[in-house]
Amino acid sequence: MDLMLSMKHAVAGLKAQSGRIRVISENLANAESTAQDASGDPYRRKIPTFQQVFDREIGASIIEPGRIKLDKSEFKLRFEPGHPAANADGYVKTPNVNPLIESMDLREAQRSYEANLNVISATRRMLARTLDILRV
């Protein structure tokens, strides 16, 4: 039944967006963390990826969370000579996480999650209504 197919697609979307939200939350939680000493690196931003997988049960392609990649961009430097992780020049490496970008990504992931949830709710209502019509 096509309604069940749409529900399975929405469930796959929920799983993918849930994983994305988890990674973004981790990035936001570590946006201000630094290394323990000057020789270490601070937290490196993680990037969620997705992969297309063919589901034989439903006979269609779905999206699943893929590997989590590390952002290779440079760390930011902040002048803070008294910090334990400061280098000889007094600069501390800070994470390559931009909280504004992460917040916008989080908002987008939340809206995608809600859209998939709405698909499931609408499908359930249509199935219930179809059963009601068949009972009459």
pLDDT digits (tens, 9 = 90+) for 46-66: 999 999 999 888 788 888 999
Total-model pTM:
0.85
17 contacts: CB under 8 Å, gap ≥ 6: 109, 110, 112, 113, 116
For residue 1, pLDDT beyond 70? no
Q: How many CA atoms lie within 13 A of 120 on its CB side?
A: 14
User: How many secondary structure helices (H) and strands (E) does the chain include?
Assistant: 2, 4
- Give the tens place of pLDDT for each residue, 60-104: 888 899 999 999 999 999 999 999 999 999 999 999 999 999 999
Please name which of 116, 118, 120 lies closest in space to residue 15, comparing C-alpha atoms.
116
- Give the tens place of pLDDT for each residue, 96-127: 999 999 999 999 999 999 999 999 999 999 98
> What are the two backbone dihedrals, phi and then psi, of residue 127, each rounded to the nearest 5 degrees?
-65, -45
